[in-house]
A and B are shown apart, each in its own frame.
Chain A
């Protein structure tokens, strides 16, 4: 039996990474695998709470305390069985999830939280390595057919669940490979693509059909598909980037982060790159505008591509490094995060507004910036700001990457289907994830706006439940929480 006093004897040990000097030289994953023995110890810190806030914090409602107990007593297969019940892609969340569960962990109130994400990864790795991740095609087929459009985490988990329920599922993806942002956004050093490949192979064996290079709405017409399919799930992501419409924006050398990352990912995987290789950071002075996670990924990639120097600027002030009064436990706090990419080099500036791009010969040369100030008493996330007089300065740059987030989904297909959208331009659905068109459902970033992988998975699974219910009258899939 697990030791309920584990947390008193053992301290949290954070993930270990390969040394910076070594890892910046390649695109391999930055993590150092944790030993099984370490996993047992770390899992034993879990208190098996009567009210596991971790379970509340995890959008998937993973059975964290239960699998922690199994890990702590070296029962990996049991843990795997529990993990896969709620999570369609544990090997992915185990790598890239920012782990809201850990911020909610009860142990985090007055101690360091349990290493939930790493424990999850350890279980997932065990499952993948020991062959527990294997095809288990559904026993019965319903005769219904569903089209899932988009192969990001939302689309994939929706497809997985629908397939489990016995429906025939076809996933349409306009890109050459499956995975959405997992494939083309998140760099390899955070998520090696073989992980994704292994999963996709299993799903293929289970009977899910993947149609890549198929852009629904362009080439394949949705009306034609309607004849073939009984229901649709739109999971096209939220890809329209926020732009910075200031003087000099038209200069060459200013790119959206996604474009930069897609290209970088393709290079790593050896995919064909369009001519005119301008999107490489080698030897360049790189400025990443936007202080978020996407920006951080760009920093990491730029470093590996051999940038001369890297500066990341953010409009907002530097966030606190520990919880303030307005970010009490167990809420997911807005804290200063230093990612592995930041450790690898580059500088970060806060409270900086970019006023102008200044260029020469149509190419960017520098940015003109100014410091901004915020009312310290206003604790909202978007406080009103003012420019600080006489604080202008310039930053030299050969490559400016705009990583300022995403506004809304691409509208083409949505327009064509004449779907209603919400105030932010995301696809509007009723509580059962159905869009204004009967039989057409939406999930993931396309539905809830720019978000996280774990939310995309949750959305995909929820949508699957409602699609199943829509098709069959009832559903035995896991229902969404709070329903």
Chain B
């Protein structure tokens, strides 16, 4: 019970009666307001609160009618809920007759509530956290609390009362994912309930804060100040959204209007919107940025009720309409039992669309109607057209003030440019417009530990979405993405007028010099630019901070003087004057202006030499920059062009570079599930690593920085040091930039833990089984005194009483805790993959398939008994090779949510690397590109993850289920959710772990080290009494026994190794894994290279023996005999103060080392099994009924009713079939099940060959995921009246990752039908957006309309769309496919499948088409991927669109 609630119309009749019982006489409906109030338990404090109420109500000229104590029954609620349960009373406030309308009364009630909240907040009550006002309104009323939905009715006895009536009702059940459960965070809030997560929250809050200075409203009058801050601190994302929505609605906007402003549809690239509507959106984008993130939001003002879905449609919302006029909308169908004959329509809410009911009119208002209506209420379109100035239309500026012959190399080196920046970063961007790709992990020091001067950017790590909200695919789903920004001052958001959209619109915020100068030269027009220098006197350290302060002052006076654009500039640096870190200057100014409520009156443009990498730009935008002009990066490009290092001309190279940056930024946004730069700007989606609190508070408030570190002085010194070095160096080496040694090791570069000495030592040791040599290796890694790299290097073990080593548990016991991490066959060679599996099976550890499937040959031991099967089978977003058989042949099933080197990103194995062998194992066609989507399309939330865990557990009940997460702030809360979702093991992967291929910026800048993530997870689980239910594992740069010991002490019971095992097998850190060019035969599929592989299982076994031995020595020293006893003993670790490098002098590890008090008796490691609740699933009956099939290979027919609580039907049965009969399965139709009713999620998941599922009724999401040979037939209930092809019969994401089989669906499917289909043949009568996305094989026939973005990322298979009205073309994404007409073969196939469809589902639509097929065949469009065509040898096709060369792993 994370919280539940219900919002209804004011039940006046009922209240009049119960109020009377409490001696309160209520006036007529609408003449009083009421709401539940959560009050402190302490009597005195409670009385105080009530006095505050009385005073506020009276002051506002209203009457406090009285308090009613609300009858509750808390016998059934949970422990946490009871501990924090407030006293709940209901207040009644009488309306002053002078207030003419309901709305004006609502405003007064709002003001009263705000004032009371403020007064109580400032009063310093000891039980302040108990105080909360749910909703003060004369129209709506809500009951809510820290309850489960089922408990609402028993807890609030009012709700059991028949007389309590409402014609609308909004119910919410919370699964808290980003904050911890609390009474006041239960939903619905005052106006809305939200299922989802606002990813841009920090920015939205800051921008709202900044806008407060401009707020004026006649409606609120001069009282407006008292409602500030609009967003109540400490609330959840949903609460904040409610706060702003409330302001807009009470400020006078229609509820639908307000929602369209805050959660706009993706309008920029939408070809189906009217000009007026686009104008509306464009106009409002000048007033507020979107609140971005996955969201299904229901909202009401008590009369009208609506629901919207975010632009990506990442939350399900299905609705039914009955004959009686009842509308039920919920995230699933089937939550209420409605007889089939009652249903007259079944639909779903579509991405960006609104569902709207006006109870006063008794009407459902169509999305288009309501929006067009609102869009035309004011001439928004005309205003936008007239007032928005487009950057391209500005006259050219004065020639950019190039200083004659600036010494480029000197400038470059004074801003810290290196040969690597030029060669590895800028060159590929300028030459190909691509972000550079690399491989393997990050083994260089964290910025705060490094002895070399670092740019401030290096102190920040990108955050990313995991589990609680999905990443977006910025390439394949480009239509939702936007980089455009509006510059110029904002207006009061409570009013509307043409001046609101007088803005300068910039489509791409990386400005060229010409663009910047055009902006700077704007004359008149209400725009005015002021340049502010961010140079400081490098000869005086104190000038650093002085300058920072001065910038803020100068900006303030510029704003007061009417300047609208501020250009922070570091042009003109010289020996004496160095530049402040641009990020510091930008962020400090941004926050200063927010605090002064001036921020929305100017735009901050940055003209800086510093930014060059994608990560730099992302940070600048994330901390408030509006546009950036990277002038030195352009010069660097020019010099690359001059020297012939880039073969295109300068302007092409520059545009390529800008394109690469733009792509990279979009990717960074999309990892967080954010679609528009406008809302990313200022959203601060970063965690700082190694910055002192003083810096955070002043310049980056709201950013997490857990280990403290560099303060202003340190940053100043670092900046000055780099600057001076450059000037000194130029006398000696003017013509050559230094090499940073970041991406490639260099003798004179940054230190790497994997270096020639450590690599050679480890290889020697494990080949010759020489422990002494291993100790040399371990000391290379463990002693980092001279140059610390890892956080853990700064630990020391405390002195305790040792035990003899003989008493410490032996290698064999420890080895069970060792695993090798996921490395796909595809990213590493077959020989390597098998060698690892053999070794791990021998020592009792586990190896992992990685995300590329596994050859079924390996499932059984070799003739000589050697076992080459990987015990862990990974399930990643691409679902390559994830067949039923694969799942049942596993001891552990690992759901890969994220990988340290590229969290939140998808991958791509380009067609030319998909060899015959790889294609076979992944069930695709050789030569066809394989794309792994950024998210799992069946995991958009933690509930979804729990569902997938359930699916997998059903398929293979004997396997444990694990979830791979990556360390970042908040991973603890996510892990708690995952533990509650019944994962058996959680892997917290370090952000610096290895990879087969990732963008360099992600390898370096995304994710945090496991020391932070693991300790956070462990502590959170202990605090929530969950630790003993789940095992923890960690990986990432794990190498030695000391690493293992520290991981255990921070909470891990298992340990993962990848790179070190590859090194043992011969890897020499060539870092060419992504190029298929590994000269030692490891990361390659090239046979000639694979032959060079010399690794042996023994080498790995030696290595793990050494690691265990070193661990045993440490344990003996610490006096600990078993690893279990070591887990969570962070009290035995301390910070080694003597070896702190200079920048880290004030580093603070207390958060990592914190040891929470756990309830006595609870172990600090896993002691219990999860209850997966698979004991009484429907499959038990199916298996029972199929007994004869298993024993005698007979065939059976089964008939059963089904309901939406029957989830994952068919998976367990299929698992059984595969276990008994292997991949072959059974003969067709051996088991034929017919169900009637509404099926729960994952109906027919991983259905095995020989099983047919027939469903009469409807189904929810994830029908037929991973189908491996089964057949699924779905048609409406015989009693239904509606026309099947116009109604939704199955939910979203049907047949995700299907392998083979057949499907016949009579009716429409939701979003993403047949996504990542490898081979199923399916017929359906209409699909939502993104149909056939990432498909690689199979055939899909769509007999009705499709949504937008059909065939995005579709590299294989064929779709046939029946398109008599010729509408399809606009809805198809033509990046990878072409549209053709059917040839003979196609016609045969389509006719045959149509015939089946008619036969199985009785589809009238299909019958009509089939009857007239000769003519109708012309109305079919064949959607054919070019690559597939080529692979099938069907002639030369167009070259595929240029895509980044990212392989998987």
Kindly state the separation between the CA atoms of A61 and B1077 in the bound complex, as whole angstroms: 25
B732 touches A51 (CB 8 A): no
Point out the residues of chain A lying under 8 angstroms from B736, CB to CB.
81-82, 85
Which of A66, A111, A166 has most B Cβ within 10 Å? Answer: A66
A330 in contact with B760 given A50-B744, A50-B1070 (CB within 8 Å): yes
* Min C-beta distance of A85 to chain B, whole Å: 5
* Min C-beta distance of A54 to chain B, whole Å: 10
Interface positions of A from 425 to 483, Cβ below 8 Å from B: 474, 476-479, 481
| A47: contacting residue among B423, B757, B1079, CB under 8 A | B1079
Contact of B1430 with A by CB under 8 A: no
B1068 touches A53 (CB 8 A): yes
Kindly state the separation between the CA atoms of A139 and B643 in the bound complex, as whole angstroms: 25
Over the window 297-329 of chain A, the binary record of Cβ atoms lying under 8 Å from chain B Cβ atoms (1 yes, 0 no) is: 000000000000000000000000000010011
Smallest CB gap from A86: residue in B: B748
Contact of A140 with B by CB under 8 A: yes
Kindly state the separation between the CA atoms of A4 and B1072 in the bound complex, as whole angstroms: 9
Number of interface residues of B (CB under 8 A): 45
Over the window 1084-1114 of chain B, the binary record of Cβ atoms lying under 8 Å from chain A Cβ atoms (1 yes, 0 no) is: 0000110010100000000000000000000
A50 touches B1079 (CB 8 A): no
| A4: contacting residue among B731, B732, B747, B1075, CB under 8 A | B1075
Over the window 1192-1208 of chain B, the binary record of Cβ atoms lying under 8 Å from chain A Cβ atoms (1 yes, 0 no) is: 00000000000000000
Smallest CB gap from A62: residue in B: B747
Contact of B759 with A by CB under 8 A: yes
Does more than half of chain A's interface fall in helix, strand or loop, or is it mixed?
A: loop
B739 touches A106 (CB 8 A): no
Kindly state the separation between the CA atoms of A63 and B418 in the bound complex, as whole angstroms: 14
Over the window 40-66 of chain A, the binary record of Cβ atoms lying under 8 Å from chain B Cβ atoms (1 yes, 0 no) is: 000000011111110111100101011
* Min C-beta distance of B1236 to chain A, whole Å: 61
Contact of B752 with A by CB under 8 A: yes
B1080 touches A66 (CB 8 A): no
Contact of A104 with B by CB under 8 A: yes
Kindly state the separation between the CA atoms of A300 and B755 in the bound complex, as whole angstroms: 40
Point out the residues of chain B lying under 8 angstroms from A85, CB to CB.
733, 736
Kindly state the separation between the CA atoms of A164 and B728 in the bound complex, as whole angstroms: 12
Contact of B764 with A by CB under 8 A: yes
A81 touches B735 (CB 8 A): yes
Contact of B234 with A by CB under 8 A: no
* Min C-beta distance of A47 to chain B, whole Å: 6
B1070 touches A66 (CB 8 A): no
Contact of A418 with B by CB under 8 A: no
Kindly state the separation between the CA atoms of A107 and B1092 in the bound complex, as whole angstroms: 11
* Min C-beta distance of A445 to chain B, whole Å: 22
Over the window 650-676 of chain B, the binary record of Cβ atoms lying under 8 Å from chain A Cβ atoms (1 yes, 0 no) is: 000000000000000000000000000
Smallest CB gap from A57: residue in B: B756
Point out the residues of chain B lying under 8 angstroms from A47, CB to CB.
1070, 1072, 1077, 1079
* Min C-beta distance of A79 to chain B, whole Å: 12
Kindly state the separation between the CA atoms of A331 and B764 in the bound complex, as whole angstroms: 11
Point out the residues of chain A lying under 8 angstroms from B743, CB to CB.
50
A49 in contact with B1070 given A4-B1077, A7-B1079, A110-B1080 (CB within 8 Å): yes
Contact of A109 with B by CB under 8 A: yes
Kindly state the separation between the CA atoms of A328 and B767 in the bound complex, as whole angstroms: 10
A78 touches B643 (CB 8 A): yes
Point out the residues of chain A lying under 8 angstroms from B1079, CB to CB.
7, 47, 106-107, 109-111
* Min C-beta distance of A263 to chain B, whole Å: 39
A51 in contact with B759 given A110-B1080, A111-B1079, A481-B748 (CB within 8 Å): yes
Point out the residues of chain B lying under 8 angstroms from A328, CB to CB.
760, 763-764, 767
A8 in contact with B756 given A50-B743, A51-B745 (CB within 8 Å): no
Kindly state the separation between the CA atoms of A50 and B246 in the bound complex, as whole angstroms: 56
B746 touches A61 (CB 8 A): yes
Smallest CB gap from A61: residue in B: B747
Point out the residues of chain A lying under 8 angstroms from B756, CB to CB.
51, 53, 56-57, 104, 330
Kindly state the separation between the CA atoms of A481 and B757 in the bound complex, as whole angstroms: 14
A49 touches B1068 (CB 8 A): yes
Contact of A352 with B by CB under 8 A: no
Smallest CB gap from A478: residue in B: B748
Kindly state the separation between the CA atoms of A48 and B644 in the bound complex, as whole angstroms: 19
Point out the residues of chain B lying under 8 angstroms from A56, CB to CB.
745, 747, 755-757
Kindly state the separation between the CA atoms of A49 and B741 in the bound complex, as whole angstroms: 12
Smallest CB gap from B1086: residue in A: A8
Point out the residues of chain B lying under 8 angstroms from A57, CB to CB.
756
Contact of B1321 with A by CB under 8 A: no
B1094 touches A110 (CB 8 A): yes
Contact of B1071 with A by CB under 8 A: yes
Over the window 59-87 of chain A, the binary record of Cβ atoms lying under 8 Å from chain B Cβ atoms (1 yes, 0 no) is: 00101011000000001001001100100
Contact of A415 with B by CB under 8 A: no
A8 touches B1088 (CB 8 A): yes
* Min C-beta distance of A389 to chain B, whole Å: 36
Contact of B1219 with A by CB under 8 A: no
Interface positions of A from 77 to 107, Cβ below 8 Å from B: 78, 81-82, 85, 104, 106-107
| B744: contacting residue among A5, A49, A106, A111, CB under 8 A | A49
* Min C-beta distance of B1119 to chain A, whole Å: 37
| B746: contacting residue among A55, A330, A479, CB under 8 A | A55
Which of B729, B739, B747, B1066 has most A Cβ within 10 Å? Answer: B747
Over the window 619-642 of chain B, the binary record of Cβ atoms lying under 8 Å from chain A Cβ atoms (1 yes, 0 no) is: 000000000000000000000000
Kindly state the separation between the CA atoms of A106 and B1066 in the bound complex, as whole angstroms: 11
A50 touches B746 (CB 8 A): no
Point out the residues of chain B lying under 8 angstroms from A66, CB to CB.
419, 423, 739
B1071 touches A50 (CB 8 A): yes
Contact of B768 with A by CB under 8 A: yes
Contact of A283 with B by CB under 8 A: no
* Min C-beta distance of A78 to chain B, whole Å: 7
Contact of A138 with B by CB under 8 A: yes
* Min C-beta distance of A159 to chain B, whole Å: 15
A5 in contact with B748 given A51-B754, A51-B1068 (CB within 8 Å): no
Kindly state the separation between the CA atoms of A329 and B1077 in the bound complex, as whole angstroms: 21
Which of B731, B757, B1066 has most A Cβ within 10 Å? Answer: B731
Over the window 250-282 of chain A, the binary record of Cβ atoms lying under 8 Å from chain B Cβ atoms (1 yes, 0 no) is: 000000000000000000000000000000000
Smallest CB gap from B646: residue in A: A1
| B1070: contacting residue among A51, A138, A481, CB under 8 A | A51
Point out the residues of chain A lying under 8 angstroms from B747, CB to CB.
55-56, 58, 61, 481
Over the window 4-39 of chain A, the binary record of Cβ atoms lying under 8 Å from chain B Cβ atoms (1 yes, 0 no) is: 110110000000000000000000000000000000
Kindly state the separation between the CA atoms of A4 and B725 in the bound complex, as whole angstroms: 34
Kindly state the separation between the CA atoms of A47 and B754 in the bound complex, as whole angstroms: 18
A5 in contact with B1077 given A51-B752, A82-B736, A325-B768 (CB within 8 Å): yes
Smallest CB gap from A70: residue in B: B645
| B1072: contacting residue among A50, A53, A478, CB under 8 A | A50
5 closest cross-chain pairs (CB), A and B: A50-B1071, A61-B747, A51-B1069, A56-B756, A476-B728
A interface list, Cβ under 8 A from B: 4-5, 7-8, 47-53, 55-58, 61, 63, 65-66, 75, 78, 81-82, 85, 104, 106-107, 109-111, 138-140, 164-166, 325, 328-331, 474, 476-479, 481
Name 21 A/B residue pairs within 8 A (Cβ), A-sorted.
A8-B1088, A8-B1089, A47-B1072, A49-B744, A49-B1070, A50-B745, A50-B1070, A51-B756, A51-B1069, A56-B747, A56-B755, A61-B748, A81-B735, A110-B1080, A328-B760, A328-B767, A330-B760, A474-B728, A476-B728, A477-B732, A481-B748
Extra inter-chain contacts (13) besides given A104-B756, A110-B1092, A110-B1094, CB under 8 Å: A8-B1088, A47-B1077, A49-B1071, A51-B755, A51-B1068, A52-B746, A56-B747, A63-B746, A138-B731, A138-B732, A330-B756, A476-B732, A481-B748
B interface list, Cβ under 8 A from A: 419, 423, 440, 643-644, 725, 728-729, 731-733, 735-736, 739, 743-748, 752, 754-757, 759-760, 763-764, 767-768, 1066, 1068-1072, 1075, 1077, 1079-1080, 1088-1089, 1092, 1094
